[in-house]
Copies of this chain bind each other. A is one copy, B any other.
Amino acid sequence: MCGIVGYLGPQDPKNIIVEGLKKLEYRGYDSAGVAILNDGKTKRVRAEGKLKNLEEKLAGEKFNGHLGIGHTRWATHGAAVERNAHPHQVGEISIVHNGIIENYLEIKQELLSRGADISSDTDSELVAHLINEEIKKTQNLLQAVQTTLSKLIGAFSVVVMWEKSPDELVAFKDGPPLIVGLNADKNEYFVVSDVQAALQHTKDYVYLEDREVVHIQNKDVKYYSALGAPLKKQVVTLDWNPEQIEKMGFKHFMLKEIYEQPRAVAMAIQPHIDTDKHEVNLKNLGFDKPVDEVFKSIERIIFVACGTSFYAGNVAQYLIEQVSGIPVQVDIASEFRYRKPIIPKNTLVITISQSGETADTLAAIRMAKEKGALTLSITNVQRSSIDREAHGHLYMNSGVEVGVASTKAFTSTLALANLLALQIAKARGTLSRAQEQEYVKSLLAIPSQIEVVLAFDKYFSEASKKLQDFKGFLYLGRGVSYPIALEGALKLKELAYMHAEGYAAGEMKHGPLALIDARMAIVVVAPTDELIEKTISNLQEAKARGGKIISIGTDENPSLKSMSEYYLSIPATSWMTSPLLSVVPLQLMAYHLADSLGYDVDQPRNLAKSVTVE
């Protein structure tokens, strides 16, 4: 979702904050703003749209002060208009906020009953009101924040400034990341949602844990628990330990890579999208003909891949068939290469492999070429063997994936599958301009929406504890959520060594229902779409037989929620992009379960990252 930069130090806060926000642009946002202290008064500037709109408004402005906060907002509560942009200012208090306040309605009623003047549609503004009420009573920012924190339920990170106290910055979090950057030599302090925003200024960071508060005042940085107990926190110097730098403060590479998915998805789509026109422009794929000509001439697509990449291919089948009307088949590489597959003329064979070195997939693309197919490879590693073999090339641009269990390469591939579906449909004239714009907007929002999902990690962690008690798992889904069920089950197998199997929800009655009893958990991927009622019917049959249900649903779906032991929520998006969100809770549940069982998450037993033998 949103990006946060807070600054207290000798430099011009405007430049530091805007440059920091630019580093977080990849997350996607639809408005931005800063609040900077100027001669003891808060000067707030906000703008809809891109950062350049904010920069235009700020051009020429000088700030006589050294304290400020900035924010890029991706709309959750309330439309993407300036009135809802951050920072939110109430009286002498300004705040920026990432995440969601769950007891929003309750707090709003309370504030209204006390006569508060609420000017935006956001949940964020309410936090500013609460702190402002407290500061009026106590004139103590730290105390005001601590009292407010005790009233908040949800997933949030907040940075607060008080115009009466120009040398003080307070921040707290419960959910989304918040990191304190320290440059003691220069007497500079940063509070950011991602170290990227401050890396050019300092290498020393303190990672806040949930419900911790940081209080920076007069060159002194103190940390407190939610109840006010002082805490000692470790400073991580990012050039000190190469692994720490690589892990960016995360316990495991895999967790880091799960958290990198907003950026990975943004990087995957960025070269191929015109963000102003909301237009897909897949070009320069390396074919010897223009891309649209290629896509117009093909009559059939076959995806070939292994493991997680195979499931990405399964998602791609649903997307491409429905949007472009071209028949798509998906094959396991080790089966494809030995079953003497039929490749009629005008077939495009698309391989998916993160490493670009998967032996079966490499053999498959060679065989497809021999049989006269046009080939397109989706890889993360440029100039890898499969990449070199293919006629056309698409890149995940995910950055190095270290965890053996693939995460960001999967979501990046799903993003590319969206682009492919749209470009093929455009080339073949089955997609209107309006539809294209709508789908592109959905896709552009995905990085921010993945951040929203990540913000609720504590719920996935909590749900994962419950999973330990089960003897087995069925992961269910329909349509595009079916391959996500397969992928979720694979993650649990790979990481937690627990037997989980993915199933098309409609197939339950044809056998697996016999497995269901109270020791069998059902993990269902059921975002609100046209299939959800069917899926709920399948679940009812399972629940009636004692099965325990853990659901991934959209926002608050009451009928799904009421039948679930755990209900894990993802934001609403188009059916095409929903797999990019629904897989994230499944990755995190598998991660946390494996970690709590003491397994080596980055190197699961028996497995290797790149399978270069058959």
Residue A120 at the B interface, CB < 8 A?
no
**B residues in contact with A326, CB < 8 Å:** 342
Residue A614 at the B interface, CB < 8 A?
yes
Q: Closest CB of chain B to A214's CB: distance in Å?
A: 39
Q: Closest CB of chain B to A578's CB: distance in Å?
A: 14
Q: Closest CB of chain B to A308's CB: distance in Å?
A: 7
Q: Contact: A545 with B606, CB < 8 Å?
A: yes
- Interface set, chain A 333-381, CB cutoff 8 A to B: 333-335, 338-342, 344, 360
Q: Closest CB of chain B to A594's CB: distance in Å?
A: 10
Q: Contact: B472 with A499, CB < 8 Å?
A: yes
Residue A608 at the B interface, CB < 8 A?
yes
Q: Contact: B497 with A515, CB < 8 Å?
A: yes
**B residues in contact with A318, CB < 8 Å:** 339
| CB within 8 Å for A513 and B321 given contacts A332-B504, A338-B479, A534-B338 | no
**B residues in contact with A606, CB < 8 Å:** 513-514, 516, 541, 545
Q: Closest CB of chain B to A509's CB: distance in Å?
A: 5
Q: Contact: A334 with B607, CB < 8 Å?
A: no
Residue A139 at the B interface, CB < 8 A?
no
**B residues in contact with A307, CB < 8 Å:** 507, 510-511
Residue A517 at the B interface, CB < 8 A?
yes
Residue A78 at the B interface, CB < 8 A?
no
In Å, the complex CA distance between A534 and B510 comes to 31
**B residues in contact with A495, CB < 8 Å:** 514
Q: Which of B340, B478, B515, B545 contacts A334 (CB under 8 A)?
A: B478
Name A333's closest neighbour in chain B (CB-CB): B506
Residue A179 at the B interface, CB < 8 A?
no
Q: Which of B339, B482, B516, B541 contacts A335 (CB under 8 A)?
A: B482
Interface size class of chain A, counting residues whose CB lies under 8 Å from the partner chain: 35 or more
**B residues in contact with A321, CB < 8 Å:** 339-342
Q: Contact: B306 with A514, CB < 8 Å?
A: no
Q: Contact: B507 with A332, CB < 8 Å?
A: yes
- Interface set, chain A 483-512, CB cutoff 8 A to B: 490, 493-495, 497-499, 501, 504-507, 509-512
Name A307's closest neighbour in chain B (CB-CB): B510
In Å, the complex CA distance between A506 and B607 comes to 13
In Å, the complex CA distance between A613 and B541 comes to 12
Q: Which of B335, B342, B493, B498 contacts A504 (CB under 8 A)?
A: B335
In Å, the complex CA distance between A327 and B510 comes to 27
In Å, the complex CA distance between A478 and B329 comes to 19
Name A509's closest neighbour in chain B (CB-CB): B611
Residue A325 at the B interface, CB < 8 A?
yes
Q: Closest CB of chain B to A591's CB: distance in Å?
A: 14
Q: Closest CB of chain B to A305's CB: distance in Å?
A: 9
Name A300's closest neighbour in chain B (CB-CB): B327
In Å, the complex CA distance between A471 and B497 comes to 12
Residue A49 at the B interface, CB < 8 A?
no
Q: Contact: A493 with B515, CB < 8 Å?
A: yes
Q: Contact: A479 with B339, CB < 8 Å?
A: yes
Q: Contact: A329 with B329, CB < 8 Å?
A: yes
Q: Contact: A335 with B501, CB < 8 Å?
A: no
Residue A385 at the B interface, CB < 8 A?
no
Residue A531 at the B interface, CB < 8 A?
yes
Residue A322 at the B interface, CB < 8 A?
yes
Q: Closest CB of chain B to A410's CB: distance in Å?
A: 12
**Residue picked from A333, A344, A512, A531, most chain B C-beta under 10 Å:** A512
**B residues in contact with A310, CB < 8 Å:** 507, 510
Q: Contact: A507 with B334, CB < 8 Å?
A: yes
Residue A605 at the B interface, CB < 8 A?
yes
| CB within 8 Å for A614 and B506 given contacts A327-B342, A499-B515 | yes
Q: Contact: B493 with A511, CB < 8 Å?
A: yes
Residue A596 at the B interface, CB < 8 A?
no
Residue A604 at the B interface, CB < 8 A?
yes
In Å, the complex CA distance between A478 and B614 comes to 13
In Å, the complex CA distance between A335 and B490 comes to 20
Name A317's closest neighbour in chain B (CB-CB): B339
Name A404's closest neighbour in chain B (CB-CB): B514
Name A502's closest neighbour in chain B (CB-CB): B501
In Å, the complex CA distance between A613 and B606 comes to 42
Q: Contact: B510 with A308, CB < 8 Å?
A: yes
Q: Contact: A514 with B493, CB < 8 Å?
A: yes
Residue A109 at the B interface, CB < 8 A?
no
Q: Contact: B514 with A334, CB < 8 Å?
A: no
Residue A187 at the B interface, CB < 8 A?
no
Q: Contact: A614 with B537, CB < 8 Å?
A: yes
Q: Contact: B472 with A607, CB < 8 Å?
A: no
In Å, the complex CA distance between A513 and B404 comes to 13
Q: Closest CB of chain B to A309's CB: distance in Å?
A: 8
- Interface set, chain A 130-181, CB cutoff 8 A to B: none
- Fill in one digit per residue for A243-278: 1 if any B CB lies within 8 Å of its CB, else 0: 000000000000000000000000000000000000
Q: Contact: A478 with B611, CB < 8 Å?
A: no
Q: Closest CB of chain B to A525's CB: distance in Å?
A: 14
Q: Contact: A499 with B514, CB < 8 Å?
A: no
**B residues in contact with A490, CB < 8 Å:** 511-512
In Å, the complex CA distance between A326 and B300 comes to 14
Excluding A360-B506, A514-B605, A537-B614, 18 further A-B contacts by CB distance (< 8 Å) are: A299-B344, A300-B327, A307-B507, A308-B511, A325-B342, A332-B507, A334-B507, A335-B506, A338-B478, A338-B534, A472-B499, A490-B511, A493-B514, A494-B514, A497-B515, A499-B499, A545-B605, A545-B606
Which 8 A/B pairs are nearest by Cβ-Cβ distance? A334-B506, A307-B510, A513-B606, A472-B499, A327-B342, A514-B604, A306-B510, A490-B511
